[in-house]
Amino acid sequence: QCFSIDNGRFNMLFGKDEILLSALILGAKGAVGSTYNFAAPLYHLIMTAYQAGDIETAQIEQMNAVRMVSVLLKYGGISAGKSVMKMIGVDCGPVRLPLKNLTDEQYQSFYNELSQIGFFRYCSVQARDNLLFNRR
């Protein structure tokens, strides 16, 4: 409904990372999401593929986003997101109470799971370079 207000005068930003492709199909022109902080290249691939009419690639990349978000949620969502930022060289500090930071063991396990799903190929080159120095 929002897209039709005032003859489509307003652009809508979408904010559910796991279903960005669905939003694009419905007319969203952009998005905001917490995982875009560290996986912007992944979402750029989804948007670029969709705009080029390559729905198959867009679907494949959207499923990669779903896998990534699933791993993040397994490790606490916000706590995991801050850990990823630290892994790529942008230490955003500890999480606020009542949330808890990942333990060293959780951090390593989280890193391993992200590696298994190929997550780090979606980080920027600079972030991948920083990763070598910030594994904890």
CB 57 within 8 A of CB 45: yes
pLDDT of 127 strictly over 70? no
Residue pLDDT, tens place only, 52-65: 999 999 999 999 99
User: Which domain CATH number covers 33?
Assistant: 3.20.20.70
Domain that includes residue 116, residue range: 2-131
> What confidence tens digit (pLDDT) does each residue in 64-96 have?
999 999 999 999 999 999 999 999 888 999 999
41 prior amide bond cis, ω within 30: no
- What is the structure's pLDDT at 2? 65
Is residue 136 in a domain?
no
Domain count, the chain: 1
In-domain check, residue 115: yes
* Cα distances (angstroms) measured from residue 74 to each of 25, 54, 63, 69: 28, 31, 17, 9
pTM of the model: 0.83
* Domain assignment present for 43: yes
Q: How far apart are alpha carbons 46 and 127 in whole angstroms?
A: 20
Q: Is residue 95 part of a domain?
A: yes
